[in-house]
Chain A
Amino acid sequence: MTNGWTDVANTDVVLVMGGNPAENHPVGFRFVMEAKRHRKAKLICVDPRFNRTAAVSDRYVQIRSGTDIAFLGGLLNYALSHDRFHADYVREHTNASFIVKEGFSFADGYFSGWDEDRQRYDKSTWEYERVADGYARIDKTLEHPRCVFQLLKKHYTRYTPEQVASISGCTAEEFEQAAEVICSTGRAGRSGTILYALGWTQHSHSVQLIHTAAMLQLMLGNIGMPGGGVNAQRGHSNIQGATDLGAWNMLPGYLKVPRANWTSLAEYNRANSPKPLRPNSLNYWGNTPKFMVSLLRAYYGENATHRNQFGYDYLPKIAEGATHSWGYLFDEMYAGKKEGLISFGMNPVAGGPNSIKMIEALGKLKWLIVAENFETETAAFWKAKELQEKYYGEVTDPENVQTEVFLLPASCFAEKDGTFVNSSRWLQWKYKAVDAPGNAMDDQEIISRLFLKLRELYEKEGGASPEPLLAMDWSYANPVSPSLTEVAREISGKDVRSGRQVPGFGALKDDGSTLCGNWLYSGSFTEAGNQMERQGQSDPTGLGLYADWAWSWPANRRVLYNRASADADGKPWDETRAPVRWKGNRWVGDVPDYKADAPPEANGAFIMLAEGVAKLFAPDFAEGPFPEHYEPAESPVENLLHPNVGDNPAALKFSSDLDPLGNAEQYPYVAITYRLTEHFHFWTKHVSATSELQSTFFVELPQALADEKGIASGDRVRVTSARGSVEGPALVTKRMRGLQVAGKTIYQVGLPIHWGFLGRVKGPLVNNLTPSVMDPNSGTPEYKGFLVNLEKV
C-alpha cells in the first residue's frame, strides 16, 4: 500500500476493484466502514461477482474478468474529457510535461518497436527527447503534441463509455455513474483511494493494470494524499515481508540480482544507479552502491573487502535476458532440467497454476524437501492419483515416481516470534504463543542446519565453487538457530567499527564500514531498541498515521510520496489533510518523502524516480509505456479495440504438452478463482472451526446459466478446462448475471480455491483448471479470466 489501512478512514471515495476486502480483509475493511460513516465516503465496487464488498457498497458494477484496463482506461478518458482531473497536480508532480522522442507510436494493438521474431519490444522509441546533460525536454504548458499529456489523451480517447461497456459487459450508464463518483476526487480538497488485490495481479497484463490505476490516481491528484493512493491488500500475513526480502530476481530491498553481464561491482553499480532526468531530481536510487555494499558486508562479514569487491563475485548471476520466475522454474523442472526443490511455507501443487503440470514436474526431481506444518499436497504430490483418481487419472503412477521426498515438520506462526509486515508496510513484532509440537523446528533452525551441514561437506569434500558458502558470515550467538532478534538487528544494519546500530539508511556507506541486510528496513532496530515492538498510539496529526506504532518502511514513513500532497510552493492541496507541512526550515508531520530540510521548490516530489516526478508514461514495462486493453490469453471474444491483436503480445506462455489453451467453442464460459472469508489459502481445511464454517467446495454460477442448463443449487456439476477438471455442488445465484459483450451473452463461473486432496475437509484443487500463462513483468499466472465448460454430473 502506498498509504495504509488506517489511512483509508481519511478518504472520500473508495474504489474496490480486483479485490474483495469485506471478504478477504475484514479487519482492514473496518476503515472503509469508518470512512463511510464518518466522512460519508462512497464505496464503489467493480467486480465480476456481486460479492460481500458489493453488498455494502453504494454502487456496484459487474464486469467481465480481465477487462479492468478497459474500465480504468475509460475512467482516464472520462476524467480528461469531463475536465475532472487535477491539472495543477498533473503539471507539477507527473511526467505529463515530458516530451517523448519522435518515432513513438501506437497502432493496431502494437506500440512502436514490436519485434515479431523475438516476440518482444525494442524500446528505443519509448524515450524522452533529451536536452543538454542528458535531461529530458519538457513543456509545462502541456501543449506540445509529443508531450506525455497529449499522447496519453490521444491514447485513451478510444476508451469511450460505450466501448468500455461493450468490452467489459456493464452498461455505459453504469460505467458513467461510477465514473462520476470516482472522478469527483480529481480536484484539491477531495481524496479517493483504490483498494485492490489478486483480482488485479493475476492476469497476463496485471502490471499494466496496476499502472493504469496509478495513472488514474495521478491524474486525479490522489497520490501522496491522505485517503488516497494505490493500495494493494496483501493476501498473506507476511507476503509483504517476503517480497521486501527478495525474490528470484531481487535481493533484499528491491536491489536487482546481478546479471551475468555485470561482471564487476562497478558495472553492477553503473547499471543500477540511474542518472537524473531533470536538474531537480533527487534520484535516490543513485545511492544503490551504499545499499549493495552494506548488503554484501552483511552476507560475507570480514570476507567482504575492498580487494574482493566486497564478495560481489560470490553472488550467483542470472544470464542476461533469462527469467526464472515460477512458470519457468516448473517448466524446466517438467523438462527434467532441475535436480531438487526446497519448498518452505508454500504449496506449489495447490497454489501454482495447472496442478497436473506441477505434479508431473515434481515427479521429475531427484529430491524434494518440504518444510511445513502439515503434510501438504506438494509433499504428497505422488499420492494425488490414488487420492483423486477422477482428476489425476493420467498422471504418473506412484511406483514410477522416483523423487525422494523429505517432509520436515516446521513450526507455525504462533509457535515462533519474529515479524509480520502487513499491507500498510508496518513491521510488527510478534511473540511466540506456544511451543511447536513434536520435532517441529523453526524455519531459521532448519535453514541453519542445512547451511552448516552443506558448508561442512564442502569443507571436507570440496566441490564446484565452494567459496560463496565458505565465505558466508554466520557468526550468530547460536549458529544452529539464530535468534530472530539478532537477525533483525543485522537486517536493520550497524556501523562495523563502532558496533552501533545505524539510525537509518541515510547512514549506510559504500566503503564497507556499514552492514545492512535490507536497506529498506534500516532503522527498524536502532540503538534505541527494537522499533517494531512499539505500541504507542499517539496521533498528533489526527490523520491516523500512528508514528509510534510498530515501524513502517521506509524510514517509518506512513504515507508514501507525501511531498506530493502539497503544491510547488509547499502549500497543501487540502489544509485538513496535510500529512507533511513546510515550516520554513523543515518538514513536519509524517516522515517526509523528501529531504527533511529541503525547501519545497528544491526537488521533484518523487525522489525515487530519475524523473523526479511520477510516471504516467513508463517505458519500464514489457508491453508498452501506456497500458492497453488486451484480452486474457483464453478469451471468449476478439479484442474490440484491435481484432488482430487479442491478448498481450508480450505475455509469457509455455509450449509443453501439458500447456494447452482452450477456445470459446469448446470452453464457452469465463472462470475466476477467489478466496472466501472462512478460509486462509490451502491451510485452514486442516482446521476444524474454519472447516465447519465452509466445508464444501462449490461452483458459483449465474441463475440464467443454471436455468439454461437445468441446474439447481446443490446439483453436482463438472467444470473442465483444456487442462483439467473439478467437480462440486452448484451455488446458483442472481448475484451474477449474463454480460453483453461484443453482441454475445457471456457467463462467468466462480471457483473458490481452498480445497485439495488432503485435510479435514477435502475437495478438488481449482488450479487443475488454470493456465500457466504469465504476466511478462511480474511472472504472475493468469488465475482469473480463463475459459471453462460446465456440465451437470
Chain B
Amino acid sequence: MHTVAKLVDTSTCIGCKACEVACQEWNDQDFTISGFDGSYQTLPDLEHNFWNLIKFNELSREDGQMTWNMAKYQCMHCVDPGCLRSCPAPGAIFQQKDGIVDFNHDLCIGCGYCITGCPFDVPRLSPNSKKVYKCSLCSDRTAVGLEPACIKACPTNCLTFGTREDLIQIANARAGELKQDGHAGAGIYNPEGVGGTHVLYVLKDAADPESYGLPKAPKIPWTVSLWQGPVKWLGNLVFTGGILGAFFHYLRYGPKPTGDEEGIDA
C-alpha cells in the first residue's frame, strides 16, 4: 500500500498562519490568548492544544542581508516513530498502514514517555486531561479522502498532500528548480535517523535545517532503543510479575477497604 505524506515547500511559505487557524478550527481547539514573546510567532512552541506552529527564524547572512525563514512545525509522522517505540500502553499510539502515526486517547495513560521518545519534541501533555496530544495528519479527514485541514487552507500551494513516493519526486523536482534559481544548497528534509518522515520539507539550504527550526540529525534517543530492546523484555517480566503478584495478593487478602470516595479532578 502507498503511504501518505505532506510536503512543505518552505521557499513558498509566507507565514500567513492559515494552516494554524485551519488546524485549530478543524480540531475544535480552544482559543487561548497568549502573551507576547517578542516575535511574529503565535506561540513560543507547540502546545497540547496547538499542534501546528509556523516558526519564524530570523537570520543575518554573511553578506549582511537578512533571511526570514518560515516553516510550519508539527508531528513529522516518522517512518520509525520514537513515540510509538517508547509507549508502554498498547494501542495508545499506533501507526496506520498509510503511515500516519496517531494516538488513541482512551488508551493513553499520560506517562509522557512518548515525549521523551520523540526526536522532534512534538507530543505535549495536557495539564487538564493528563493525556498527550499532537497532529494526527487529520486522519479523520484523510480516512474519507480529504486532504488535511492545513493543506486545504494554504493559499500559496506551499503545502501538498499525496502519496509519499509522489511527494518525494515532487520535492526533488522542486529542489532542482531552486538549484537552477541559484540556491545551490537546495534539497529535501526527510531524515534518515527516524527512517524518513511522512512530513517532507523542501529547503533552500538543506545542509542547515536548524535555520528553519528543524533538528539537524534527529534520532530516537538511545534510552528508547534500549527500552525497545533488552530492557523491554526485562520490564515486561517485571510488569507481568507485578500483575501476577497483585493477583495472588488479592486471592490471599481480598480487596482493600476504602474511605470516602476521592474523585478524580473533573
Contact = CB atoms under 8 A, between A and B. Distances in A.
Contacts of A27: 155
B32 interface: yes
Given A689-B25, A733-B58, A694 B42 contact: yes
Interface of B is mostly: loop
20 contacts: A26-B16, A29-B14, A33-B156, A33-B157, A36-B12, A37-B12, A52-B15, A52-B68, A53-B14, A55-B14, A55-B70, A60-B66, A677-B15, A689-B21, A692-B34, A693-B17, A698-B36, A730-B38, A733-B58, A735-B66
- Counting from the closest, the 7 A-B pairs by CB-CB distance are A713-B38, A22-B14, A696-B36, A26-B16, A55-B68, A688-B31, A692-B31
Interface string B143-159: 00000000000011110
B15 A55 contact: yes
Given A30-B156, A50-B68, A735-B68, A692 B32 contact: yes
Contact of B35 (A36, A56, A695): A695
A619 B32 CA distance: 55
Nearest to A695: B33
Range class of the B interface residue count? 35 or more
Given A40-B181, A691-B33, A732 B38 contact: yes
Contacts of B14: 22-23, 26, 29, 52-53, 55-56, 677
A36 B183 CA distance: 14
A23 B16 CA distance: 6
A30 B155 contact: yes
B68 A29 contact: no
B11 interface: yes
B35 A693 contact: no
A34 B156 CA distance: 8
A678 interface: yes
Contacts of A36: 12
A734 interface: yes
Contacts of B25: 689
Contacts of B208: none
Nearest to A20: B14
Nearest to A56: B14
A729 interface: yes
B21 A731 contact: no
Contact of B12 (A33, A690, A714): A33
Contacts of A688: 31
B183 to A, nearest CB: 11
B104 interface: no
B102 interface: no
B62 interface: no
Given A23-B14, A693-B20, A713-B37, 20 more contacts: A23-B16, A26-B14, A26-B18, A30-B157, A52-B14, A52-B15, A52-B70, A54-B66, A54-B68, A55-B14, A55-B15, A55-B69, A677-B15, A677-B17, A692-B32, A693-B42, A695-B34, A731-B39, A734-B60, A734-B66
A726 B11 CA distance: 36
Contacts of B67: 55
Contacts of B35: 695-696
A761 interface: yes
A13 to B, nearest CB: 14
B21 A693 contact: yes
A752 to B, nearest CB: 10
Interface in B73-118: none
A730 B70 CA distance: 21
Contacts of B60: 734
A760 interface: yes
A40 B180 CA distance: 10
A26 B21 CA distance: 14
Interface of A is mostly: mixed
B65 interface: yes
Interface in A699-741: 712-714, 729-735
Contacts of A761: 33
B68 A713 contact: no
A761 B31 CA distance: 12
Nearest to A50: B66
B155 A60 contact: no
Contacts of A60: 65-66
Nearest to A712: B38
Contacts of A731: 38-40
A745 to B, nearest CB: 16
A426 to B, nearest CB: 17
Contacts, number: 103
Contact of B155 (A26, A37, A54, A56): A26
Given A55-B14, A55-B68, A689-B24, A26 B156 contact: yes
Nearest to A40: B181
Contacts of B18: 26
B38 A729 contact: yes
B75 to A, nearest CB: 20
Contacts of A694: 42
B177 interface: yes
Contacts of B66: 50, 54, 60, 734-735
A692 B157 CA distance: 24
A51 B173 CA distance: 28
Interface in B130-167: 155-158
Best-buried of B11, B34, B67, B156 by chain A (most CB within 10 Å): B156
Contacts of B69: 55
Contacts of A689: 21, 24-25, 31
Given A50-B68, A677-B15, A691 B31 contact: yes
Contacts of B156: 26, 29-30, 33
A743 B12 CA distance: 38
A141 B66 CA distance: 47
B9 to A, nearest CB: 9
Contact of B17 (A56, A678, A698, A712): A678
A714 B33 CA distance: 17
A432 to B, nearest CB: 21
Contacts of B11: 56
Contacts of A54: 66, 68
A53 B38 CA distance: 20
Interface in A563-622: none
Interface string B16-59: 11101100110000011111111110100000000000000010
Contacts of B68: 50, 52, 54-55, 735
Contacts of B33: 691-692, 695, 760-761
Interface string A114-148: 00000000000000000000000000000000000
Interface in A23-69: 23, 26-27, 29-30, 33-34, 36-37, 40, 50, 52-56, 60
Contacts of A40: 181
Interface string B172-188: 00000100010000000
Contacts of B58: 733-735
B157 A729 contact: no
B36 A695 contact: yes
Best-buried of B14, B16, B18, B42 by chain A (most CB within 10 Å): B14
A676 to B, nearest CB: 8
Contacts of A690: 21
Given A29-B155, A693-B20, A714 B42 contact: no
Interface string A199-240: 000000000000000000000000000000000000000000
Contacts of A22: 14-16
A50 B60 CA distance: 12
B47 to A, nearest CB: 11
Contact of B38 (A30, A692, A714): A714
A22 B35 CA distance: 25
Contacts of B38: 698, 712-714, 729-732
A454 B68 CA distance: 57
Contacts of A26: 14, 16, 18, 155-156
Contacts of A34: 157
A536 to B, nearest CB: 23
A642 B202 CA distance: 51
Best-buried of B25, B36, B37, B42 by chain A (most CB within 10 Å): B36
